Amino acid sequence: MANPSSSPRSKEETQGGNFGQFGTEGRGRGQETGTSFGDKAKEVASNVSDTARDAASSAAHTASEMASNVGQKAEDATSSVGSSMKSLAGTLRERGPHGGFAGQATSSVADSLERGGRYLEEQGLRGIGEDLTNLIRRNPIPALLVGIGVGYLLARATRS
């Protein structure tokens, strides 16, 4: 009887065919290709990440410069408005009535315009913001009520 544990060899094996070896080599090459592909994918992902990071940094820098320029232009415009207010105060004093009730009113308006113009020239938007913040901190409830009132009026105005 034939030994069941030793099966007859296939024709390919007896003729010197090494398909098992080819399978092992193919698997090894597949693993190398997979590893190589994985490495290249990581490299591409890293390059894309670096490019995106550089683009985001450049965009942030550009936005920061633009905001700085806008802020500087707003400060310049505020200073210009202050100067114009002072000039208008001088014109009112020169051309307005000088005596009586109308003269007092003109003088009072000119003084207010001059003080406001000086304040805008000296303090600018930053000073206005700080003063407004301090005012709200000292009077939180009235500031809240004013905010609610302004919100209500804006809602009514935009509704129609």
- Comparing 1-15, 63-77, 111-125, 144-158, the range with the smallest average pLDDT is 1-15
Identity of the highest mean pLDDT range in 21-30, 97-106, 131-140: 131-140
How far is 122 from 140, CA to CA, in rounded Å?
27
Whether residue 105 contacts residue 67, with contact meaning beta carbons closer than 8 Å, is answered with no
pLDDT class of 97 with cuts at 50, 70, 90: confident
pLDDT of residue 111: 92
Q: What is the pLDDT of residues 34-79, one digit of tens each?
A: 567 667 777 777 777 778 777 777 877 787 788 778 878 888 888 8
